[in-house]
Structure 1
């Protein structure tokens, strides 16, 4: 494999003095002048155009948050070897680990700047919006009864398994989340305007915690233009799936985001709907009930608990939005 790496580097006119395999897909390259990161990407041929567009936009909009990639001697952004796409970027040195508060606020600030600078707006009709959300609304409305049927089924067991006990323990909170999302979807669709502004921005599409290095965001392989709720949901889910949820830090980080990129209530409602999405939680229960035996019980219990934590955060999030941004100022109404 090292010979393949050396051949790829020749396409960049780089003669390495040291090659370190960091992971199966990442190499740390050194020559006499610089350090580089060589990535064996997951890009398919049909994804390349969208990925390349990220760097054209970053150059045009002067988005320093997006780590650049080097051009080959043929002027390409990547090198194709045996059907795999490789690209080369600067090797970023890790700064000393910052506090969670600083890290979350910094990431939210980076996202806000990218989303703001790349925003594109389009007008869509209210009828089109309702049509697109109708199937999802119907799906959500059926879930409370489905969840209740599982609880009744499990409670009839003489001895519940740890997974079944977990579902029953979660029930009240998940029932609240299901009722909440049905209310949020109804409010979201209850728009008085016949036409609505739908904003799209450059979204990372797969924002994991290790994709944020200092003041930069790496790995734009799944990037696309979408509503910013996509990036924010991915990031919040990364932060809230584990035991220690930094709820207050996320709320404070969002205030930083909103000061830099001022979302409308319509956009915040959509974000709430994304966060409250119960599909993954319900899918885990359905798979258990089907008794497919594909995954061990310990995995199912752990996976369900992660989805539960995300939904608990979503409930706290919607409370935060209501208190922070939906509170009616009666003095304003009287003027």
Structure 2
């Protein structure tokens, strides 16, 4: 799209903000606007996303949490403008300075995430029947996964010649099985601990925590953007996907990520039941099982090389995650032993 066409596209939207654009740069769904009132970021979203997230952002500001890139109101008070089947909202342009290494930036991110959760935390009522249903449905799903991986391995081992994928899966089977067993045990511990509780802790969940959605200003302060998936929920709904994406890499000793988790816990420690559920979901080998299920279902025209690569990548993630889970287990056990030995 030409510069002139970009200007023509955004001009009617910016008119609602009494902003006159001079030049526009495209960054996917965000456009950088140079204007008579400064430099802005204009974000385009689907109307189906709604504008509930703006209410969440305002709620956080009211709670005293200001590490969010603000959303500007239009002249008539609207926080989003509907134009040609899309919603648009306006923010200041954040420079996103690259001053620190990724490890320090991630620590700053989880500190701010913990603060966000602290300020928005509240106790909510929980229906014990709904909790029981969630537990039973999850256990049923994980039992089916256990049955599948056992059956897939047995079928593979009965063949005279296994495919490369089947051979690799059989080599990984024990570790996949152990991860699934650990997840089930932690889920059982969580349910036994909480089945009679009628309260649970809820926070405002960002919904899409990542380094791309945490920007640094010229002073080095970090600010969250993209609250479009924000909602009330358990704090691990933010921590789990962030860790999962971070651990999706070549095999490594993931001590940095153990430090990252405990940087978060320093500011927002999990209760015992929250920790059990967090570890149950963190350890769960869902991605590697999905890959095997997809391989099994696709009877014709399999791309063997592609499936083997997927299996290998998910196995590396499983091993990185296993290290983090086992280290958390070790640290928590030591803390428990120290508490038991401490004089009353």
TM-score, normalised on structure 1? 0.90
Aligned length, in residue pairs? 332
What's the counterpart of residue 219 of structure 2? none
| 1:145 CA drift (Å) | 3.0
Query: Kindly tell me: are residues 16 and 219 of structure 1, through their superposed partners in 2, closer, same or farther at Cα, counting changes over 3 Å?
Result: same
CA contact (8 A) 1:19 1:27 kept: yes
2:149 alignment partner in structure 1: 147
The structure-2 alpha-carbon separation of the partners of 1:193 and 1:167, relative to structure 1 and needing over 3 Å to count, comes to: closer
Distance 1:120 1:255, change over 3 A: same
* Aligned residue number for residue 289 of structure 2: 282
Partner residue in 1 for 2:10 = 5
**Match for 2:234 among 205, 210, 227?**
227
Hey, what's the Cα distance between the residues in 2 that align with 1:139 and 1:108? Answer: 31
Q: CA deviation at 1:295?
A: 7.9
* Misfit runs of 4+, over 6 Å: 292-295
Distance in 1 between residues matched to 2:340 and 2:269, nearest whole Å: 23
Residue 174 (structure 1) aligns with: 176
Match of 1:213 in 2: 215
State the SS of the aligned residue for 1:329: helix
The equivalent position to 1:28 in structure 2, one of 29, 32, 37, is 32
Which of 257, 260, 270 in structure 2 is aligned with 1:253?
260
Residues 54 and 108 of structure 1: CA distance in aligned 2, closer, same or farther (over 3 Å): same
User: Given that residues 253 and 320 in structure 2 are in contact (C-alpha distance below 8 angstroms), is that contact kept between their aligned partners in structure 1?
Assistant: no
Query: Is the Cα contact below 8 Å between 1:126 and 1:191 reproduced in 2?
Result: no
Equivalent positions of 1:41-56 (< 5 A) are 41-44=45-48, 47-56=49-58
- Is there any run of 5+ residues in structure 1 with no aligned partner, and where? none
Give ranges in structure 2 of 5+ residues lacking alignment.
217-221
Name the residue aligned to 2:310. Answer: 303
Cα root mean square deviation, aligned: 2.4
Mapped pair 1:37 → 2:80 = no
TM-score, normalised to structure 2, is 0.88
Answer yes or no: is the 8 Å Cα contact 1:144–1:175 preserved in 2.
yes
Map 1:1-335 → 2, pairs under 5 A? 2=6, 3-23=8-28, 25-44=29-48, 47-124=49-126, 128-191=130-193, 194-214=196-216, 215-243=222-250, 245=252, 247-291=254-298, 296-327=303-334, 328-329=337-338, 332=341, 335=344
After superposition, the C-alpha distances for 1:41-94 in whole angstroms (9 at most, x for unaligned) are 2451xx424212222212211322221111112211111112211111111112
Conserved? CA contact 2:60–2:120, under 8 Å: no
- Residues 123 and 195, structure 1, Cα contact 8 Å, conserved in 2: no
Secondary structure, in 3 states, of the residue corresponding to 2:43?
strand
Whole-Å Cα distance in 1 between the matches of residues 277 and 316 of structure 2?
A: 20
CA deviations on 1:278-318 (whole Å, 9 max, x unpaired) are 33332221111111669844443343334333333332233
Segment of structure 1 superposing worse, 287-296 or 239-248: 287-296
Q: Residue deviations 1:236-277, cap 9 Å, x none?
A: 011011215562111112222112112111111111122123
